[in-house]
Amino acid sequence: MRHANALNRLDRLPVSRFHKVTLLAVSFAYFFEFADINTFATTAPKLVDLWGITVDQIAYVTSLSFVGMFLGSIVAGTVADRLGRKRTLLLTTLFFGVFSFASAFAWDLVSLTVFRVLTSAGLAAMTVVAVIYVNEMYPSAVRGKYQAYAIVIGICGTPVTNLVASAVVPLGDWTWRLVYLWGSLGILLVLFTRHLAESPRWLESRGDHEGAEAVLRDIESRVAAEHGPLPEPEPPVEEEPVTRAPLRLLLQRKYLHPTLLLTVLWVTQTIGFFGYSSWAPTLLAKEGFSVEKSVFYVALTTVGAPLGSYLAALVTDRFERKWCLAAFGTLIALCGLLYGLTFNPVLIIVFGFLVNLFERGYTALGYAYSPEL
Higher per-residue confidence, 242 vs 266: 266
The reply to whether 123 falls in a domain is yes
CB crowding 234-253: b at 16 or more within 10 Å, else e: eeeeeeeeeeeeeeeeeeee
Judged by DSSP in three states, 336 sits in helix
The reply to whether 233 falls in a domain is yes
Closest CA to 127 of 329, 14, 269: 269
Average pLDDT score, the chain: 84
Q: How confident is the model at residue 1 (pLDDT cuts 50, 70, 90)?
A: very low
Question: How much is the average pLDDT of 143-168?
Answer: 82
**289-308: per-residue pLDDT in tens?**
766 677 677 777 777 878 88
Would you state the pLDDT for residue 119?
A: 94
Question: How much is the average pLDDT of 214-229?
Answer: 88
Question: How much is the average pLDDT of 282-290?
Answer: 70
Which range is least confidently modeled, 117-131, 137-151, 209-223, 290-304?
A: 290-304
Would you state the pLDDT for residue 290?
A: 67
**25-37: per-residue pLDDT in tens?**
999 998 988 888 8
For a pLDDT cut of 70, what percent of the chain falls above it?
92
Closest CA to 230 of 2, 11, 24: 11
Would you state the pLDDT for residue 237?
A: 63
The reply to whether 150 falls in a domain is yes
The reply to whether 1 falls in a domain is no
Would you state the pLDDT for residue 122?
A: 92
Higher per-residue confidence, 238 vs 193: 193
Q: What global pTM score does this model have?
A: 0.75
DSSP state of 195: G
The reply to whether 202 falls in a domain is yes
Would you state the pLDDT for residue 115?
A: 95
For a pLDDT cut of 90, what percent of the chain falls above it?
20
Domain range for 245 is 6-372
Would you state the pLDDT for residue 5?
A: 82
**65-116: per-residue pLDDT in tens?**
889 989 998 888 889 888 889 999 999 999 999 999 999 999 999 999 999 9
Q: What's the CATH number where 178 sits? A: 1.20.1250.20
Question: How much is the average pLDDT of 222-250?
Answer: 76
**334-352: per-residue pLDDT in tens?**
988 888 888 787 887 888 8
Would you state the pLDDT for residue 241?
A: 58
Question: How much is the average pLDDT of 315-342?
Answer: 87
**Amino acid sitting at position 210:** E
CA distances from 120 to 40, 195, 266 (A): 11, 27, 16
Q: Is the per-residue pLDDT at 63 higher than 60?
A: yes
Structural domains of the chain, count = 1
Which range is least confidently modeled, 115-119, 231-235, 338-342?
A: 231-235
Q: Which residues contact 78 (CB under 8 A, 6 or more apart)?
A: none
Q: Write out the H or E segment, with its range, that includes residue 261.
A: helix 253-269
